[in-house]
Chain A
Amino acid sequence: DAGVIQSPRHEVTEMGQEVTLRCKPISGHDYLFWYRQTMMRGLELLIYFNNNVPIDDSGMPEDRFSAKMPNASFSTLKIQPSEPRDSAVYFCASSLRARGGYTFGSGTRLTVV
């Protein structure tokens, strides 16, 4: 298995533009998590899905953020409109269970200028 695949690896965009981050989880994993890494807050959970259903999106910072999982092999995190404070590394992870065994993707480094 190729692991969790995220794209793009790097994204530089102008303030106000829409940004879409993509994730392909490991086949058979029931859980998918979106985390954001910043110096100030470390790894913070944005949203997670179980069997393609969003379970908890209380970590999504604002209405500008949205996430979808249309099927078991694909998820997107969208920011519209983007702001400089959204600059961070965004990680997707998948797992068979919530308790552990997470496999993280390599992340998307987002820079909003």
Chain B
Amino acid sequence: DQQVKQNSPSLSVQEGRISILNCDYTNSMFDYFLWYKKYPAEGPTFLISISSIKDKNEDGRFTVFLNKSAKHLSLHIVPSQPGDSAVYFCAAHRNSGNTPLVFGKGTRLSVIA
């Protein structure tokens, strides 16, 4: 049972345009959300996070939006660059104790020059 769902396995975007990666979750106990980026032959690395008390967090070209009522978050990359081509994982943390992050299946983003 996937508690964190990334329904788009892949996405292609032209350089300079906006990339929007989506993530849905089912567990209302999740209160902290993260995005990780993974290049081939490397481990995932942290990109950006958002707490459930916020609806937006921005870091340079990367913005994460959270819609709690819809149990939906999205990662916006503006403008997209070829170096952004990677697999992006959405992750969530439950607010009860020291439970590990739950990850989605990932979305492969290809930014075309």
Residues of A with Cβ closer than 8 Å to B?
4, 31, 33, 35, 40-45, 48, 50, 55-56, 91, 93, 97-107
Contacts and interface: CB of A to CB of B under 8 A. Distances in A.
B105 A99 contact: no
For A31, A43, A55, A101, the residue with the greatest tally of chain B CB atoms inside 10 Å of its CB is: A43
Nearest to B45: A104
B44 A100 contact: no
Contacts of A104: 43-45
B43 A100 contact: no
Nearest to B42: A106
Interface residues of B, number: 23
Interface of B: 6, 32, 34, 36, 41-46, 49, 89, 93, 97-106
Listed residue (B46, B100, B102) with the most chain A CB atoms within 10 angstroms of its CB: B100
B56 to A, nearest CB: 18
Contact of B43 (A44, A55, A105): A105
A42 B93 contact: no
Given A50-B98, A98-B93, A42 B106 contact: yes
Top 4 closest pairs, chain A to chain B, by CB: A104-B43, A42-B105, A43-B103, A98-B98
